[in-house]
Structures are given as structure tokens and as C-alpha cells.
Amino acid sequence: MGDLTRLSAAALAAALAAREVSAVEAVQAHLDRIAAVDGDVHAFLHVASDAALAAAAGIDAQRAGGEPLGPLAGVPIAIKDVLCTYDMPSTAGSRILEGWIPPYDATVVAKLRAAGLIPLGKTNMDEFAMGSSTEHSAYGPTHNPWDLARTPGGSGGGSAAALASFQAPLALGSDTGGSIRQPASVTGTVGVKPTYGAVSRYGAIALASSLDQVGPVTRTMLDAGLLHDVIGGHDPLDSTSLAESWPSMADAARRGAEGGILSGLKVGVVREIAGTGAGFQAGVRTLFEQSIGILAANGAEIIEVSAPSFEYAVAAYYLILPAEASSNLARMDSVRFGLRVQPSDGPMTVERAMSATRGAGFGAEVKRRIILGTYALSAGYYDAYYGSAQKVRTLIQRDFAAAFGVVDVLLSPSSPTTAFQLGSLVDDPLAMYLNDITTIPANLAGIPGASIPIGLAPEDGLPVGLQLLAPARADARLYEVGAAIETLLEDRWGGPLLAQAPALNTAKEA
């Protein structure tokens, strides 16, 4: 079979089903890869070697016994450390939860296990998903496999880097303002944020409950669709879960890959996030414009649309998110679970223990956002800040509705730049926040979005991503069109971008 770590999840699943390879062999190959390169990449916070091999042996026994198995049974997967796992630490990248093992699985993790996927471990992330570079992890930064001196994006840089360095064929991430799509863009991988409510958030350690969404991190749109089919659907444990049936996203991706659907497709380019602003890298703009031209040459009708409220999206987001984070993180109180720090002087009271624990356990970025959110919710400022931000959110939703009244899908760059140098923005929060300028509007509106690699920027040879957006509940359209674009653009470089990258293996090979 050659190098099992280089197979797509779909190809590996087919080999497993045909008994050309065992689940134990597949898991061991990925564990060997982790041992070889993760010392350089630092994609994982915890590797569950023994449990993964034991689970793989169980799948092999079921398959040998003729038991019916899911289409991804035996395929390894990495899990962002924001998701609760009953048998592995779940830290959300924070010292305040160091070593904490939840008593239950997140719904999506339980679905993975039931479908026979094999968890390899937990991936690194910005603390409580607050960041765009994975530098705010309390356990050290993750490095981009394309260039170890650069960020893999954030907050889910660990999951994206694990995929880009072939340490896992699949991963789960969470996307609050771009934390799946932006890392996918800068690592040359695929990331999908489903419609809000399409995938359960139960057991996802909450950052901003009205924005958070769990989704697939993969190397192809078909792999993303296969994983989405496993984790999607209604969950009565999540009060925001949509109670409706969904078509197969994998089938939608297969239809798109067959071609022909771009002819007559109305593709909108949002003027406000089309890559023409001052903060957009020239190479990102060039590849985006070339991609639009290729779509037009293949029958798509390109229509420029305007969404004037997008100008205020970042400002609104950084009031709504901190306000919800301030509320959600109040549970980190030193009493119920996690870290407890003894006050340095004076009596031990709940208030003093809480103050000492939160002071020691939270990082600088988390503290910054809690303070901002608490202020935005305080008496006398609620209407001026949080209330006004929610009004902007409504305007953004209306702009999307107007746009989708004219076009079928929307396109923009996934990120304004390629991967930036580690340390270059960590002391400039505003510059860091602007990395999500193109992705934030989709979270505010609750619509699905995906990032698809479209090539390497000519000035630095690093990956660039194309963001595809579809109307709420039209996730199947996202996969269908996304797979069509992926297939079309892959012809430019003769196959998947990651397989062609000479700089990919700067991390030490096995």
C-alpha cells in the first residue's frame, strides 16, 4: 500500500474495507509519523497510542467477524482539545484545565467512536479558542509544516498542522470566527464550518455560544463530507441543534467532483472582502482573481455583490465574542473542576481562591477578552456596546440574505495573508484580530463556509485558500460546489496541493 499516511481518508477507508490493510497498521503508521515529526510541529497535546491501537484491534476483529461497519471504520482521527473526551485530557489549551479528564464525551466524539473512527489524540489550540495563530496555547505554539518558523493559523492550528504534516488523515475543529477555515487556508488543507446548529456543540468547551460550530478538518472536500455525515444531525442534548434531516454531504461532494455543475452557477464576489483592501497580500489577491477567472471560463457567472455591513463585522464580533466568553468562562471558578490556587496570603475563601486561580490559570489573551466582555455587559454600557453589536449582526444577516437572493454561492479569500512569522503579531492584538476579517461574517450569520486550497503565493511559496459560502442549511450545496472547484483547480498543479509541496517536509522525516 505504500505510505499509508499519504492516503486520503476516503482512499484509506476503501483499503480498510477491502482488507488490503488493517486498522492496526493504519493507526501504527500514523503513530510512527507523529513520533517522527511532531517534536518539530507540536500539533498534538496528547497522543493516545495504547488506546488507539486497542480500538483499532477491535475494529479489525469486528471486520473479520463480518459485522457491519461504517464507511470510515478504522480510519484514525485527531480531535481538537476543545472537545470533551472521557479518556483523554481536555484542556482547551489552558493551564486552568491542565490534566482535566471529563466524565463524558462530546456528542461528536461519541459519534466518531460509534462509527468506528480511531481517536489518535488531542490537538493544540489557542487557549479557549481565542487566537488566530495557536501562539496563545498555554502549552507552546504549533508550527506550520510548510515553514516551521510560521504559524499554522488559529485557533485550531494543531488540527490543521496535523493534517498538513500527514500525522492524521482527518481531524475535528471548531470555528467561532474562522478557527477552522483560516488554519486550513495557511496550511493548504480543507476546512468546513457547517451551518450553525447542523453539528452538535454538546461537550465542546464553550467560547461564544452563539458563534461556536464544530466541523471537519481534512485534505479533500470528499473527506470533509464523509466526516460531516458522521458528526452531523440533530442532538437533543444541544438546545441549538437543528431538528431536521440532512442529505449526505459525501454524496454532494461526489456529484461536484464529477463536474458540470459550474455551468450557469451564479457566483458572487463580495466587494468588501474580495481581497482588494490594504491588508490583503498581493499573492493572495492574484490567486483569488485567477481562480475567479478559471471559474468564469468554465461556465460560472461571476457577479459582484456588496455587503456594506461587513465593514463593521470585526468590531461587532469583538464585542459579542468577549461578552459571551466572559459569561461562559465564569464556570472556571476553582470550585467545580480544574485548577485551584491557594491565595498567597490571608484566609482561604471562595472569592480569594477564585481570584488567585483565574489570575494564575488564564493567559493574557483570555484575560483581555474577559475584561472587554465584562465591560461590554456592564450596567450603563450594555446598549452602547453589546446591544449595538447585535444590531450590526442583524444587518450582516440581511446583507447575506440580499446577496443570496441574487447568487448561489459567495467567494472570497479565506485569509488576507499567507502564514505569518511566529511572534510577529502576538503583541499586536488588533493586527491578529484582522486575520479573521473574511471569515467572521459567516459566524455572525450562522451560514456554512469552507476553505479550499488554490495554490501557492508567488512571493513566498506558501498556501492560499479560497473561501466558499452558501446559505444557511445549504451545506450540501457548499460541498457540491466546493468539490467542483477543488477538482477544477487541482488540474492547475496536477493533483492535491499538499502532495506537490517541496517545502512540506521541513519537519524531520521518519
Active site residues per annotation = 80, 155, 179
CA 326 to chain centre: 22
Per the DSSP assignment, residues forming a β-bridge with 410 are 268, 469
Residue 189 C-alpha cell reads as 488543507
Q: How many CA atoms lie within 13 A of 168 on its CB side?
A: 32
Render the burial of 110-148: b for 16+ CB within 10 Å, e for the rest: bbbeebbbbbbbbbbbbbbbbbbbbbbbbbebbbbbbbe
Pairing of β 449-456 and β 463-469: antiparallel
Residue 202 C-alpha cell reads as 454538546
- Rounded Cα distance between 408 and 103, Å, is 43
Residue 46 C-alpha cell reads as 496528547
Asked if residues 363 and 135 have their Cβ atoms less than 8 Å apart, the reply is no
- Rounded Cα distance between 443 and 314, Å, is 11
Length of the chain equals 510
Asked if residues 416 and 284 have their Cβ atoms less than 8 Å apart, the reply is yes
Sign, CA dihedral 465-221-176-363, equals negative
CA 428 to chain centre: 23
Asked if residues 92 and 129 have their Cβ atoms less than 8 Å apart, the reply is yes
Asked if residues 84 and 106 have their Cβ atoms less than 8 Å apart, the reply is yes
DSSP state of 489: H
